[in-house]
Amino acid sequence: MVQVTPNGPWGRDVHPRMPVSTDEVVAELTECFAAGATGVHLHVRDGSGGETLDPAVVNETCRRVREIGPGVEIGLTTGAWIVPDLADRIAMIREWEGVDVATVNLSEDGFEQVMAAMLDVGIGIDVGLWAPQEMPALLASGLLPQAARISIELDPGEPYFLDGPPETVARTLNDRLDEAGSTCPRLTHGMNDWTWPLVRDAFRRGHDTRVGFEDSVLLPDGTTATSNADLVRAAVRLAAAA
């Protein structure tokens, strides 16, 4: 799977074509699905452009995305920064409709409760694994066997300030998952300068991967993409070469 991440938490200061409104997201995703994306990781926005987990907004956004991509996997974030109160966040997630999977970051307090609630309502757990330091918490939770996917999400910056090269960090995490006996599907991706090295690493390993303005606005040659679909097309070309 080439998953597209069209916006993340960012605004137009990152890219002038950052899709913020629902109409903009739908238009951008229409292009991306035509370009070869078969999944989306979306940060849903409300009428003011702010991130939201509100079921009314989430469900309508998912309905519209499903209309343009009936066979596409729809993934969301459960980021604690959007709704800091854990109980409120879980209550909202329980009311979501049309969400196939959602990413839960191991770095956030209460990740176990969020995952348990998702299992209750049939939303697949996409484990957000950012660094080797998070493996003990994942294993201790007992939830690894119930995950739909593990997203190996690597950024050389905060909060872990990982030492590169990125492929080495990815190998360490894959080795630890293998040692734990995990056969869960994996998605590998990186942020900023680590984006394209880890896209290539994912294809070498036969993993899913993702690209989009959330991770980087740059193409493999370092030029700025004009749209998310440009990034998808570049990833599809790399997949074909791999």
Contact 168, 139 (CB under 8 A): no
Residue 75, strand partner residues = 41, 101
Looking at residue 187, which CATH number applies to its domain? 3.20.20.70
Would the CA dihedral through 177, 211, 5, 37 be positive or negative?
negative
| Cis peptide bond N-terminal to 70, omega within 30 | no
* Predicted local confidence at residue 194, as pLDDT: 96
Domain count, the chain: 1
* Predicted local confidence at residue 52, as pLDDT: 98
* Predicted local confidence at residue 242, as pLDDT: 86
What is the residue range of 191's domain? 2-241
Low-confidence ranges of the chain (pLDDT < 50): none
pTM: 0.95
Residue among 33, 102, 43 at smallest CA distance from 69:
33
Q: How far is CA 162 from CA 14, 125, 219, in A?
A: 23, 25, 23
* Predicted local confidence at residue 164, as pLDDT: 81
- Tell me the CB-side half-sphere exposure of residue 110, using CA atoms within 13 A: 15
User: Following DSSP, what letter does each residue of 59-101 receive, concatenated?
Assistant: HHHHHHHHHH-TTSEEEEE--TTTS--HHHHHHHHTT--S--E
Please give the Cα distance from 55 to 10 (Å, whole number): 21
